[in-house]
């Protein structure tokens, strides 16, 4: 038999090539072993095929547990249309109850309320996308409202600056705790919320608002500014690299496993930014209040903020979210709250609306995670995938095979066999 296979041939007349005998890199078609073979992609030979950049982007999106492919936004578009129709329907019902509810000073009050809730929903949506929801948003807003009510006569800018700086410091502390110890954001922010309640409980009586700042004079600009930032954030979140970088803190295997310095920095930054947003919302709540600011736990505001973000299409697991959904959800809650007041349904408090929004948002989260994940998630059908090797029959203990080969030879018949050692030619009689 002649050994004429290419793997046994010498590359030149003097010896094997630099790869040595059996160098399999040149004996298989390009890309046969994929990117992760022992030698890696060969970029020195211009004739060899390379893996497309789009495929590499999908493969190395998350080196450990990433989902290849782009998130689907079709469900977000459909759901945002549903939310827009719901806002129109509730607005129509409100006009039927009060024809002037969406005109003049009443409309300006709704816009300021929408701007305040929009800031809270912005902070909730940002921390939700980062995978570390901030539950201290409501208490921080109430504390900021009380601070503005007590010190508003000193000027809007100094009072707002004090509340913002204090909230930012609190956010930095919570963010550092989350990223250094790698603990869930809800747990660390809950501790911050309880600490903020200490400040709130020191004021058992309602506080009259000092100063003469009236945000209804800039109602349209306030709401439009908040809405534009929400939409721009949603559009930026559709970029795959940004979407997955912000949501990299989202657990994909063991939740206690650290997700790297990039995830830590972005998550800590999201928590830190969300606190000043809550402080700004509290200032708007106090400044637009018709009466004194009542000290509350702020849990109802946290429920409304998180509920608005979830109903708007932001996933409770992090990373995924829509574009216009949060704006429409905020509008729906504000108009719905005004409609409830017009109907005299006193049992439907803001806490009840927040609870309902969170419950509906959890259903939306399940739909987002079902219909928003990439089509290729869990299926690796890239053309350069290596064909799996055939299964090898399992082996038992050492020296024992469990395949189809028998461990013993078949029994041989003994009756028909003549004893070759008993023949006459071995006897010594004739010799």
pLDDT averaged per 10 residues in sequence order, the chain, 431 residues: 46 44 42 41 48 47 59 91 96 92 91 96 96 95 95 89 96 94 93 95 90 89 96 91 84 79 89 96 93 92 97 93 95 96 92 96 95 66 50 51 51 51 48 44
d(CA 16, CA 344): 91
Residue 201, SS3?
helix
pLDDT value of residue 139: 97
d(CA 326, CA 320): 13
The neighbour count for residue 408, using CB atoms within 10 Å, is 5
pLDDT value of residue 393: 52
Cβ partners under 8 Å of residue 201, min gap 6: 295
Q: What are residue 401's DSSP bridge partners?
A: 395
Per the CB < 8 A criterion, the answer to whether 115 and 219 are in contact is: yes
pLDDT value of residue 197: 95
3-state secondary structure 8-55: HCCCCCCCCCCCCCCCHHHCCCCCCCCCCCCCCCCCCCCCCCCCCHHH
CA distances from 75 to 85, 172, 370 (A): 15, 35, 10
Q: Which residue has the tokens 């709401």?
A: 223
What is the DSSP-derived secondary structure letter of residue 218? G
pLDDT value of residue 117: 97
If we measure between CA atoms, which residue out of 222, 221, 412, 186 comes closest to residue 317? Answer: 186
- For the chain, the residue count is 431
d(CA 278, CA 126): 12
pLDDT value of residue 282: 96
């Amino acid at each position: 038999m002649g050994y004429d296979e290419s793997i046994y041939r010498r590359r030149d007349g003097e010896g094997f090539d630099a790869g040595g005998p059996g160098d399999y890199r040149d004996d298989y078609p390009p890309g046969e072993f994929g990117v992760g073979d022992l030698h890696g992609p060969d970029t020195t030979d211009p004739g060899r095929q390379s893996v497309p950049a789009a495929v590499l982007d999908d493969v190395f999106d998350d080196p450990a547990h990433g989902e290849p492919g782009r998130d689907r936004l079709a469900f977000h578009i459909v759901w945002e249309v549903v939310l827009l129709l719901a806002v129109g329907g509730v607005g129509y019902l409100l006009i039927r109850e009060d024809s002037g509810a969406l005109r003049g000073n009443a409309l300006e009050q709704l816009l300021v309320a929408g701007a305040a809730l929009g800031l809270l929903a912005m902070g909730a949506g940002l921390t939700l996308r980062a995978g570390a929801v901030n539950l201290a948003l409501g208490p921080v807003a109430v504390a900021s409202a009380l601070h503005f009510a007590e010190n508003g006569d000193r000027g809007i800018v100094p009072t707002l600056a004090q509340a913002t700086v204090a909230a930012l410091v609190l956010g930095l502390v919570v963010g550092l705790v989350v990223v250094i110890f790698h603990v869930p954001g809800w747990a660390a922010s809950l501790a911050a919320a309880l600490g903020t309640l200490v400040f709130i409980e020191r004021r058992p009586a309602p506080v009259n608002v000092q100063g003469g700042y009236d945000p209804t004079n800039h109602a349209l600009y306030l709401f439009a500014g908040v809405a534009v930032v929400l939409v721009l954030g949603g559009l930026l979140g559709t970029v795959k690299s940004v979407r997955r970088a912000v949501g990299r803190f989202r657990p994909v295997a063991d939740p206690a496993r650290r997700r790297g310095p990039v995830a830590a920095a972005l998550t800590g930054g999201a928590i830190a930014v969300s606190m000043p947003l809550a402080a700004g919302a509290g200032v708007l709540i106090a400044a637009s209040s018709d009466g004194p600011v009542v000290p509350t736990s702020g849990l109802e505001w946290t429920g409304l903020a998180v509920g608005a973000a979830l109903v708007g299409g932001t996933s409770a697991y992090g990373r995924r979210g829509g574009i216009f959904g949060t704006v429409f959800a905020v509008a729906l809650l504000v108009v719905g709250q005004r409609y409830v007041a017009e109907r005299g349904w006193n049992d439907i408090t803001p806490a009840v609306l927040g609870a309902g929004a969170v419950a509906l948002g959890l259903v939306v989260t399940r739909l987002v995670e079902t219909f928003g994940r990439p089509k290729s998630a869990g299926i690796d059908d890239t053309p350069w995938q290596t064909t799996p090797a055939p299964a090898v029959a399992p082996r038992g203990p050492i020296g024992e095979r469990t395949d189809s080969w028998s461990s013993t030879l078949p029994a041989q018949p003994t009756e028909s066999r003549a004893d070759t050692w008993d023949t006459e030619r071995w006897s010594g009689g004739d010799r």
